């Protein structure tokens, strides 16, 4: 645990939380066969670190329209007892429709992603190796076999 006192700045406390944070990828995507972390996984790991550093976390959502598309903007801020705060924002676009989901579920899903992105930014969580951000779930373009022009030309001579 980290002891805090009046001379420990908010930035120093945030750095302490960032360096101690271990947010395991506690979720499993069986379809894509990979592990990932959710906002809830991050929050579970954060709560004791925030408490031991005298910090509170506030997360809010706003619905914003950008270029005719609807996004959830999540704002995550750490605040100390003196009111000093540092924050980060995350955005996730709402799908216009999603099979099997009603409007509330679509917004909730976008909110979860936006919150995760805001937390990643605020607490320096690197998700570059997280397949959740890059997996196409088998929907990508299948590579077409390349034809060798020389082989085709030779075939025409035979």
- Residue 143 in domain: no
Is residue 144 predicted with pLDDT exceeding 80? no
Range of the domain at 14: 10-130
Rounded to an integer, what distance in angstroms lies between the CA atom of residue 158 and that of residue 155? 5
The answer to the question of residue 148 being in a domain is: no
110 domain residue, yes or no: yes
Could you tell me if residue 104 is inside a domain? Answer: yes
Question: Per the domain annotation, does 14 fall within a domain?
Answer: yes
pLDDT of residue 146: 46
Identify the CATH number of the domain in which residue 81 sits: 3.30.390
Number of domains into which the chain is organized: 1
List, for residues 32-90, the tens digit of each pLDDT value: 888 888 899 999 999 999 999 999 999 999 999 999 999 999 999 999 999 999 999 99
Identify whether 111 is part of a domain: yes
- The CA-atom distances, in angstroms, between 157 and each of 132, 146, 149, 151, 154 are 50, 20, 13, 10, 5
**102-143 tens-digit pLDDT:** 989 999 999 999 999 999 999 999 865 544 544 554 554 444
Residue count of the chain: 158
Within-domain flag for 87: yes
Query: Which pTM value belongs to this model?
Result: 0.73
Residue 154 lies in a domain: no
């Amino acid at each position: 645990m980290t002891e805090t006192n009046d001379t420990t700045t908010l930035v120093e406390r945030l750095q302490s939380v960032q360096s101690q944070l271990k947010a395991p990828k506690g979720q499993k995507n069986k379809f894509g066969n990979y592990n990932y972390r959710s906002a809830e996984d991050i929050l579970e790991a954060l709560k004791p670190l925030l408490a031991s550093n005298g910090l509170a976390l506030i997360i809010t959502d706003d619905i914003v329209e950008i270029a005719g598309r609807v996004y959830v903007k999540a704002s995550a801020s750490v605040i100390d007892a003196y009111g000093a705060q540092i924050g980060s924002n995350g955005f996730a676009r709402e799908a216009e429709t999603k099979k099997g989901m009603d409007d509330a579920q679509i917004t909730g899903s976008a909110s979860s992603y936006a919150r995760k992105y805001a937390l990643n930014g605020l607490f320096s969580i690197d998700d570059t190796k997280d397949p959740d951000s890059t997996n196409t779930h088998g929907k990508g373009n299948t590579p077409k076999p390349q034809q060798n022009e020389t082989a085709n030309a030779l075939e025409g001579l035979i």
